[in-house]
Chain A
């Protein structure tokens, strides 16, 4: 176990290194001027020059990268081109917000996917299976921002039960926090569940066709016991391994939902970073998403090992 953890942590370094280089390069080769985006309509050639010099944008890309990476390693991500806000502390403040949003959305998705996928897989090729598979397709193909707009219209504007958006830290007011998070999590979770239902269904079908289920059946184990004692446990391992990828995807896909619900997370930072060519903001936000995804993958590997100790040496 310890070897697995250490091995994984060691592989972080090259992964992060490569990711940061690719990101830095991508951000800088995309056409569009950071200086003009920051200075706008009145930018004189002198002002543009001064801006680019001040921010080191007039130096070779390799020099810029080394400088940026060196400071980033010490935890200094610079300040935003658009406003004087220090990027590092701002991003650190936003990570828990996005994690809570993605985490709760993931729970919603799992809560929908496990029972539905289980039923569909268990009653493989039945009418129920057809209904669930159709639902999964419907959920998965719904744009989350469209669903979000519908939810806001119904629950906020019509019924007045929940706020239309905004964010309150959990530590300040847990109830307000959860009320604000509910609609965005449902919007994200329902859409994510489309894929998760299918994964669960496939996992269940695979287990259902395995020899030990056949054996259990022939021994006269009841359907209920079969499900709870054998199918679920065995189907959950592949389910969680695959759906962890979906969690990583969720962290990256909160971009528009955060904007629609006015949630100050990483996603909205990525968006504004791209729109304004605000390189320090964009790099810090994208790097933090990368780190989160890497950590989640590590945790999933560990969890899978706890559930099924046979998968011992996967990481090392």
Chain B
């Protein structure tokens, strides 16, 4: 593989990233064993397979197998060559050029050229596309095909995570001619990825077969894959125990010990990007006061939440929401794992909140970790003098009556950041323009910091700006960081060379094989 980067920010960023992770990013040419069908288990149905529809995380783990992206991310979230065999960025950091591998084809046999790349991005840039990850591509001014193999992206602002964005499943390259002929990718995805899509039966399975024309020699190793959708956690665990399921990266925390203690089972529990935070409604009485929000943040016993709601399979967040494994992590130890009741009480007294003030905690009844952490949070709030009550609601009503109209005092939310870039952890939660900002908080200062951090030229600058943003977020305590869940992966020891990703993505399955 030839990397023809010009010196400058791209190289600097890559070097710094490599340094941060301490791993060279190039996929090693290892000999594997061809054949076999991998049976993997997941808990939820996908929401369609068109990259432009802005679908769910479950859609993405299908999309990344069927389509290709210009770049790929390795297990340490470091970009490496996808269908672009080389890429470079101009000195101003605004113009990126990607050179495609020659002879690429889609699963329908048609050639994949620079025109398809241009079309794919114009499609998601269209304001009417409804693409949910628009914030990733909003700095793209134009995409130009220089010839069949070279495509240039002109940006209107330096975009720190640009390479990461180019490896995101939403940035998948779709076949222009096929889509223009009216083909519905959402039901029948056609790409150039390691696996062809065969079928999808809702609530049951997604079936893949090997793409024999995949551009990486020898890969993928499996003849095919079956993603089983098993919504009942116990049924998923039973399937793992009996050996009918080879693989899952959604092992239920309650069954983790029973599954990993089995013979012939390989397990990996890594801190991922699924983090939980408490949302205080800034428009509800005393919660508009940062002192009160900080008091609540200090009152919480995060260690108890990890034990009680996650069976120990999570890490308490003691400072900003960017996790420790990420290069954007700022070492700000604001909270103690057990909480600090005295400090919380002092903050509350300073705010002048009367003891016995009522406060309600609204939770989704069908999300086990939230139901388990509710009494712990309630007890902590009572300890500092609140008269705390728990309310619950089923999901569809919660979205409509609680989340959408910001109708709550306190609630808890989580999301799995699909990118390993620090921007993805903070902008969603803190930006005044974000749909996720149901706390109705944020400030111009915070927005400016996040934009500056995203657009800074060097990784050191970015890191410093994220540190400032994290500190500000703890001073204003717009939301209360709670815990970061682990990605619980277990698989048969017949599966070799699988490298789990912190985002829960499974692109690395193409490099694994069954013995």
Contacts and interface: CB of A to CB of B under 8 A. Distances in A.
What's the dominant secondary structure at chain A's contact region? Answer: helix
Interface stretch (B234-242, B285-293, B303-311, B350-358): B234-242
Interface string A167-201: 10000000000000000000000000000000000
A92 interface: no
A34 B428 CA distance: 23
A80 B47 CA distance: 9
- Most A CB within 10 A of own CB, among B46, B239, B428, B436: B239
B382 interface: no
B400 interface: yes
A41 B230 CA distance: 22
Contacts of B435: 41-44
A164 B236 CA distance: 9
Interface residues of B, number: 45
A260 B232 contact: yes
B244 A84 contact: no
A84 B189 CA distance: 11
Contacts of B241: 157, 164
Contacts of A33: 396, 399-400, 404
A26 to B, nearest CB: 14
A276 B56 contact: no
Nearest to B131: A47
Contacts of A110: none
Nearest to B57: A40
B126 interface: no
A82 B47 contact: yes
- Most A CB within 10 A of own CB, among B47, B186, B241, B428: B47
Contact of B244 (A40, A163, A272, A281): A163
B47 A38 contact: yes
A277 B244 CA distance: 31
A38 to B, nearest CB: 7
Interface string A26-51: 00000111101111111110011010
Nearest to A152: B238
A103 interface: no
B24 interface: no
Nearest to B399: A36
A88 interface: no
Contacts of A32: 394-397, 399-400
A231 B306 CA distance: 64
B239 A85 contact: no
A165 interface: yes
Interface in B295-353: none
Interface string A265-304: 0001100100111000100000000000000000000000
Contacts of B399: 32-33, 36-37, 40, 43
B242 A157 contact: yes
A57 to B, nearest CB: 12
Nearest to A86: B187
A211 interface: no
Contacts, number: 129
B203 A85 contact: no
B186 A31 contact: no
Nearest to A274: B396
- Most A CB within 10 A of own CB, among B201, B228, B400: B400
A5 B226 CA distance: 45
Given A32-B394, A33-B400, A90-B202, A164 B239 contact: yes
A31 B47 contact: no
Contacts of A260: 232, 234-235
A34 to B, nearest CB: 8
A275 B396 contact: yes
Nearest to B401: A31
- Most B CB within 10 A of own CB, among A48, A83, A152, A268: A83
Contacts of A43: 399, 404, 435
A157 B200 CA distance: 28
A315 interface: no
Contacts of A39: 132
A230 interface: no
10 contacts: A32-B399, A33-B404, A41-B415, A42-B54, A160-B242, A164-B235, A164-B242, A165-B230, A259-B235, A281-B202
Interface of A: 31-34, 36-44, 47-48, 50, 80, 82-86, 90, 93, 149, 152, 156-157, 160, 163-167, 259-262, 264, 268-269, 272, 275-277, 281
Interface of B: 45-50, 54, 56, 130, 132, 184, 186-187, 200-205, 228, 230-232, 234-235, 238-239, 241-242, 244, 366, 394-397, 399-401, 403-404, 413, 415, 428, 435-436
Given A40-B399, A160-B242, A276-B396, 17 more contacts: A31-B400, A36-B403, A36-B404, A37-B396, A82-B202, A84-B184, A85-B187, A149-B234, A156-B242, A163-B244, A165-B230, A165-B235, A165-B244, A261-B235, A262-B204, A275-B395, A275-B396
